Each structure stands twice: as structure tokens, then as C-alpha cells.
Amino acid sequence: MTRVVVVTGAASGIGAAVARHFGRLGAQVVVADIDVAGGTAVAEEVGGLFVRTDTTREEDNLALVAAAVEAYGGLDFVHLNAGIGDGGGFGRDDYDAARQHRVLTVNLHGVMFGLHAALPVLAAHGGGSLVVTSSMAGVGMAPFDPVYAATKYGVIGLVRSLAPPWQAQGVRINAICPGFVRTPILPPEAIDHIVGEGFALADPAEIAASVAEIAAGEEVGQAYVLQAGRAPEPVAFPRLDLARADA
């Protein structure tokens, strides 16, 4: 059984649901978020540890992993879930370079810092599993938020590129690509629109159960689409064989 779990962006939404899921399984859960009140409440609920973490700061990611090891003696599973949306567009009225930079920093650089902090520690403690939250926007398109989509494509590129070398050290890396999920990242008007268009909204607890299933599996370098009422669906990436000079 997974014993020590770290979840970023765990004060609400998918992250909180993942923390609760593993807490119910008896794991020692480390809740990481910049939201002190929300994160503390989730940590108290699961009998775990809250560590205030700004994932855009490399030192915060390193301190988070160190706190987990100091408190519980090791590390078995990490879910790099923290992320934000609304990077804006490229039109005259919605282009905002500062806002775009913030989305890039949280969604891509924050994941890179988390991977850098967690992977060596997972390997040193006998291996384990790491899941990164991407999005269906990372395998499709999001005309309403192209910068967000770009970061989620980037996350999958990281996962697929890092998975083979770290598999050799006993660490399994995968990504999840949730569809529409009822979380605080979706404002009420967006939820009303999604439901009105006939799309199903997944509950965060449903996503959390899929995350636990993926974490316990043996696959590596996969990106799983998670939608309401469906089992995790691996994305069918093209096989890229390098051409041989003598072929």
C-alpha cells in the first residue's frame, strides 16, 4: 500500500479529493498549497501534514519533499496537481503578457520544480509513483485559453520524456488529463454553460479514485483522459521509430 503521499494544489478540488482518498486508505498525506486556511483544513481532515508551498518557487518544492521525509520517513507517491487557468488569448482585448507568464510559471515551471525535487527522493527511498495533472486541453485544443492548453501539452511532454530514464530507477511517471470537473477553477457561469451544452461534469472524488488506480499500476509515460462515468483512457500516441541509416 502507498504509505507516504504528497499532493500539491490540495486545498480544494482534485487535489483535496486525492488527499482525502489516500487518507481513507490509511496513508500519511502531506497537503501542499498556497491557501493556508484551506490546506490546513484538508490536512486536519485526513490526519496529515500541511506545508505551505508556492510551487513556482524551487526552494518551496525542495522544502515540501524534505518535510514529508522528515515527518514520515520516506516518500511513495507524489501528485503534482497545482495549476491555474485563464492565460487569456491573443486578440487586441484579451492579450495580457503578465497573466500569460503567471500561467506558464505555475503550470509548467511549477511542475518542473516539483519533478526535480521529488524524483530523486522517490528513487532513493526504493521507488514509487508520480502523477502530474495535465488536462484534456493538453491533448486537444482550448481556443478560449490557448496558453493554458500550451502548458498542459508541455506537461505531457515532460512526463513522456522523463518516464523511461526514471523507470530504470524504480519511479513510474504518468499524467492525467481530466475533462470537465466540478472544481473551483470553473466559475458558476462556466458550469452552467457546460451542463447546458449537455456535457457531464465529473466529481473530484471520481478523479481521485482514478489517480489512485494509476498510481498503483505498472504503466509509465502514459497520459490518461479522465471523464465522468468512464474508466481512465490512455491516449494513443503515435509510435516514433528513428529511421535507420541502413534501412
Which of 14, 1, 7 has the alpha carbon at shortest distance from 130?
7
Number of domains forming the structure of the chain: 1
Domain containing residue 169: 4-234
pLDDT score at 183: 80
Q: Is residue 218 part of a domain?
A: yes
Active site residue 135: yes
Does some domain include residue 242? no
Q: Identify whether 148 is part of a domain.
A: yes
Active-site residue (options: 12, 129, 134, 135):
135
Q: Per the domain annotation, does 58 fall within a domain?
A: yes
In a domain, 243, yes or no: no
Q: Which of 134, 152, 210, 224 is catalytic?
A: 152
Least confident of 17-21, 44-48, 86-90: 86-90
Q: Which of 12, 72, 148, 210 is an active site residue?
A: 148
pLDDT for residue 7: 98
pLDDT tens, position by position, 208-246: 999 999 999 999 999 999 999 999 999 999 887 665 555
SS (H, E, C) the chain: CCCEEEEECCCCHHHHHHHHHHHHCCCEEEEEECCHHHHHHHHHHHCCEEEECCCCCHHHHHHHHHHHHHHHCCCCEEEECCCCCCCCCCCCCCCCHHHHHHHHHHHHHHHHHHHHHHHHHHHHCCCEEEEEECCHHHCCCCCCCHHHHHHHHHHHHHHHHHHHHHHCCCEEEEEEEECCECCCCCCHHHHHHHHHCCCCCECHHHHHHHHHHHHHCCCCCCEEEECCCCCCEECCCCCCCCCCCCC
- Establish whether 72 is a catalytic residue: no
Is the model more confident about 93 or about 130? 130
* Cα–Cα distance list, 21 to 145, 166, 204 (Å): 30, 26, 10
Name the least confident of 59-68, 86-95, 144-153, 223-232. 86-95
pLDDT tens per residue across span 29-63: 999 999 999 999 999 999 999 999 999 999 999 99
Instruction: Supply φ then ψ for residue 113, to 5 degrees.
Output: -65, -40
| CATH number of the domain that residue 50 is part of | 3.40.50.720
Does 152 qualify as catalytic in the annotation?
A: yes
**Residues above pLDDT 70, as percent of the chain:** 96
In a domain, 48, yes or no: yes
